[in-house]
Structure 1
Amino acid sequence: MYSDIVGFALATPYWLHTLAEAGTDAGLFVFAALFAVAALRAWRAPARDLALVIAGPAGVVFAYVVSEVIKTFVREDRPCRGGIATIADCPPPDDWSFPSNHTVIAAGAAATLVLAWRSLAWVVFPLAAAMAFSRVFVGVHYPHDVAAGFLLGLALAPLFALLVVGAVTPAVRLARSRLSLR
């Protein structure tokens, strides 16, 4: 399946190559901007709502760290090291393939944003899926790398966010009370 996707990708127009390569990183900035908008939106909402927005990126970081630990144990070589022509340059030899960190971050960001702002689901999940597919399309991951990364981000980031929201909520209340005294 990897070879079929990469072969198809190489036959697409150059502008699509550029979009696929830049789109993954640009998507991460879109998620960061959505967290900022969600925080502004939740600023006057109940403290727990803002705490969920704040806990979301912490959940994404947690999922990312777990994926990095998994990479050090699995140590799967990148598929682009197999002599197949790809759109993207192959990462260095010590940058392992399984699971896809970009996908973990994208899926984790989508899932935690939906915790805080449910109506974003129709935007953020397709964006995360497109970002995941782009990793295979440009040739730096196998399909199972992105599938595992998607599941990891989807499960761990919101779980961690929900576990810490109870600790973040009082901090939000305290910060709000201190800001209102000024």
Structure 2
Amino acid sequence: MTYISPAVSLAFDGSGIDGGLYRDVTEEARHAPWLLNDTVSTWSAFGLALFAVLMVMAWWRARRADAPMMARALAVPLVVVAVYGVDMVVKSLVREERPCRSLPGSFTLESCPASGDWSFPSNHSVIAFSAAAALWLVDRRLGAVAALAAVAMAASRVWVGVHYPHDVAAGALLGVALAVPLTLLATRAAPWVERARKGRLRPFLLTSA
């Protein structure tokens, strides 16, 4: 008799939602050129670093903007961390097993995460889309770049085989739904930014150029 651990037996199987679409995507990946797969895998693993770079650029550009906009720029990383925290709570409540574990024989470009590393929603999608939404409210150009990068990140997580499409879609919705009001709320810190611009932090918060 095969023993099934409680963690596995209580895990939610999301394959009935869009497991077929997941298999279609991963089968395309199985037969794709190695250069494409290597590129997608690298982006999937390290692409979140781009959002950190965009956050720094948003802060730098906000030095030329008014205090409310600088308040939003400073809040972007805090917003992303807060949304990520909510995401982890949702993960622990839903407890959806990874598709590469629920669907035997699934093709993956990355090693399948261990059981207990839940799938829903996608952390990468939550981080990418919350960053993109927050950046959009600070700088439209940077926000547009971030939005394209977020879509690419979400797609890559399905392509490499570690998430269902509904995982990344839910991550995108959660990221945007929480990041927008939190970033707008950060505007209330504008008076603090205005005061700080008159003190020692002035070089970091305002440029005279």
Give CA-to-partner distance per residue, 1:94-143, whole Å, 9 cap, x none: 11000001000001111111100013343221211110000000000000
Please give the alpha-carbon distance, in whole angstroms, between the structure 1 residues aligned to 2:55 and 2:41: 23
Shift of 1:29: 1.2
Please give the alpha-carbon distance, in whole angstroms, between the structure 1 residues aligned to 2:113 and 2:59: 34
Where does the alignment leave 5 or more consecutive residues of structure 1 unmatched?
A: none
Return closer, same or farther for 1:4/1:149 CA change in 2, 3 Å cut-off. Answer: same
Of stretches 68-77 and 49-58 in structure 1, the one that deviates more from structure 2 is 49-58
Please give the alpha-carbon distance, in whole angstroms, between the structure 1 residues aligned to 2:201 and 2:177: 36
Instruction: Using structure 2 for the length normalisation, give the TM-score.
Output: 0.81
**1:14-163 matches, cutoff 5 A:** 14-81=34-101, 82-83=103-104, 84-163=106-185
State the AA in 1 paired with 2:154: A
Please give the alpha-carbon distance, in whole angstroms, between the structure 1 residues aligned to 2:26 and 2:43: 17
Return closer, same or farther for 1:25/1:87 CA change in 2, 3 Å cut-off. Answer: closer
Instruction: Tell me which residue corresponds to 1:12.
Output: 32
Q: Is the 8 A contact 1:55 1:162 kept in 2?
A: no
Please give the alpha-carbon distance, in whole angstroms, between the structure 1 residues aligned to 2:202 and 2:40: 48
Return closer, same or farther for 1:165/1:180 CA change in 2, 3 Å cut-off. Answer: closer
State the AA in 1 paired with 2:72: L
State the AA in 2 paired with 1:90: C
Please give the alpha-carbon distance, in whole angstroms, between the structure 1 residues aligned to 2:167 and 2:22: 11
Please give the alpha-carbon distance, in whole angstroms, between the structure 1 residues aligned to 2:166 and 2:199: 48
- Larger C-alpha radius of gyration, 1 or 2? 2
State the AA in 2 paired with 1:147: A
State the AA in 2 paired with 1:72: S
Shift of 1:180: 6.9
Q: Is the 8 A contact 1:59 1:159 kept in 2?
A: no
Shift of 1:13: 1.6
Please give the alpha-carbon distance, in whole angstroms, between the structure 2 residues aligned to 1:36 and 1:25: 20
Of stretches 125-134 and 115-124 in structure 1, the one that deviates more from structure 2 is 115-124
RMSD: 1.7
Please give the alpha-carbon distance, in whole angstroms, between the structure 2 residues aligned to 1:18 and 1:102: 18
Give CA-to-partner distance per residue, 1:3-39, whole Å, 9 cap, x none: 0000001111222222112203432111111111111
